[in-house]
């Protein structure tokens, strides 16, 4: 079978795509990845593998993607520019394609000061937008930066992230436009808790015609507790958790908060499905992958469509 991006197929066919996030282990155990693969199989179209998220050393996203691929899933390789210069980034794109990985998400990465290696140098040779452009040129023109030709171009569905909740708000859509102009075919957003602001951002994106040019997948993260909601509001960069969400989590007893968090998540997805231009949802259940199937089921996202494999 020829390797194809299932994610791209679903979107091309006009489907509402579902992706989930899979964090690699802080160790060399392949089993941990394969176990998560089983939790996500048949419930999502593709699985993002984070790249040393929050700057904490974990199994490489490329290796974990390869494991997911061999288990029959469609991995989305997340690559951050924090840890690699342009030589390594381009090399990894080639390697990923050679391994049959068909989706890449080009990211800046959380700053190294947040993780467990705060003494590390931050590379940031390219920024995420330049990286998207490089990936796109490698695929479409078969050339690397500087114009040298590749013996074989990588086959990749190329994506980027967007955070509608950062400041300055008016510029957020400009940055999205730049990512689309750079060649981002799909966008996965930061976790959405402030739906009003997200809807405003979507309206601005539609006004600029961006939803015609790229597929926006809304990001959601189920809250496990009121404490987690407060933590995300205060401590996680670029996160917008409105007070009413925190109050709603606090309004139920501690034992019921996880359930409430899942309920909020499902409701968010249902609302996202109604927003024109939203082409799918990206479920980031942090170390809670066993709940993705339940969320997808309750949000009416199952069964996933069958995709022809040629």
Tokens of 34: 């394969």
Q: Considering the complex, state which of residue 174 and residue 254 has its C-beta at the smaller distance from another protein.
A: 174
- Minimum CB distance to another protein, residue 124 (Å): 4
Among 94, 124, 197, 206, binds another protein (CB under 8 A): 124
Judged by CB under 8 A, which stretch of 40-48, 168-176, 222-230, 302-310 contacts another protein? 168-176
Q: Contact with another protein (CB under 8 A): which of 14, 168, 253, 303?
A: 168
Q: Is 231 an interacting residue with respect to another protein (CB under 8 A)? A: no
Using alpha carbons, select from 16, 44, 76 the residue that is nearest to residue 279.
16
Phi, psi (deg, nearest 5) at residue 194: -95, 85
Strands (E), the chain: 17-22, 46-49, 75-80, 103-107, 157-162, 186-191, 215-220, 278-283
- What is each CA distance from 19 to 35, 41, 74, 272, 296, in whole angstroms? 17, 11, 10, 14, 10
Q: Pick the closest to residue 185 from 139, 238, 127, 153 (CA basis).
A: 139
Q: In the bound complex, what is the minimum distance in angstroms from residue 273's beta carbon to another protein? A: 24
* Nearer to another protein among residue 242 and residue 305 (C-beta): 242
* 69, 82, 102, 282: which one binds another protein (CB under 8 A): 82
**Taking the alpha carbons of 133, 134, 139, 140 in that order, is the dihedral positive or negative?**
positive
CB of 174 to another protein, least distance (A): 6
Cα-based distances in Å from 175 to 128, 168, 201: 11, 11, 12
Which are the contacts of 303, defined by CB distance < 8 A and separation ≥ 6?
A: 42
Q: Which of 190, 211, 214, 268 contacts another protein by CB under 8 A?
A: 190
Site membership for another protein, residue 4 (CB under 8 A):
no
- Part of the chain binding another protein (CB under 8 A), chosen from 20-28, 123-131, 252-260, 262-270: 123-131
Q: Which residues bind another protein (CB under 8 A)?
A: 82, 86, 108-109, 111, 113-114, 122, 124-130, 133-134, 145, 161-163, 165-168, 171, 174-175, 177-178, 181-182, 190, 237-238
């Amino acid at each position: 079978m020829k390797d194809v991006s299932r994610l791209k197929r679903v979107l091309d066919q006009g489907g509402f795509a579902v992706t989930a996030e899979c964090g690699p282990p802080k160790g060399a155990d392949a089993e941990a990845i394969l176990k998560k693969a089983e939790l996500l199989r048949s419930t999502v179209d593709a699985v993002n593998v984070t790249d040393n998220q929050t700057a904490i050393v974990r199994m490489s996203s490329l290796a974990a993607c390869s494991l997911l691929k061999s288990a029959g899933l469609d991995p989305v390789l997340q690559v951050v520019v924090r840890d690699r210069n342009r030589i390594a980034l381009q090399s990894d794109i080639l390697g990923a394609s050679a391994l049959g990985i068909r989706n890449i998400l080009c990211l800046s990465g959380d700053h190294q000061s947040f993780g467990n290696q705060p003494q590390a140098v931050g590379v940031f040779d390219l920024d995420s937008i330049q990286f998207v452009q490089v990936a796109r040129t490698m695929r479409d023109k078969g050339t690397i930066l500087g114009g040298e030709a590749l013996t074989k171009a990588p086959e990749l569905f190329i994506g980027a992230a967007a955070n509608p909740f950062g400041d300055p708000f008016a510029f957020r859509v400009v940055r999205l436009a730049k990512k689309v102009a750079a060649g981002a075919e799909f966008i996965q957003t930061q976790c959405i808790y402030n739906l009003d602001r997200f809807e405003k951002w979507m309206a601005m994106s539609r006004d600029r015609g961006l939803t015609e040019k790229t597929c926006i997948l809304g990001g959601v993260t189920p809250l496990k507790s009121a404490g987690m909601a407060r933590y995300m509001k205060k401590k996680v960069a670029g996160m917008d958790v409105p007070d009413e969400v925190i109050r709603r989590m606090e309004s139920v007893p501690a034992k019921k908060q996880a359930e409430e968090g899942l309920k909020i998540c499902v409701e968010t997805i249902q609302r996202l499905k109604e927003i024109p231009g939203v082409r799918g949802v990206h479920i980031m259940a942090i170390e809670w992958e066993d709940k993705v199937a339940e969320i997808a089921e309750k949000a009416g996202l199952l069964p996933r469509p069958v995709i022809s494999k040629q």
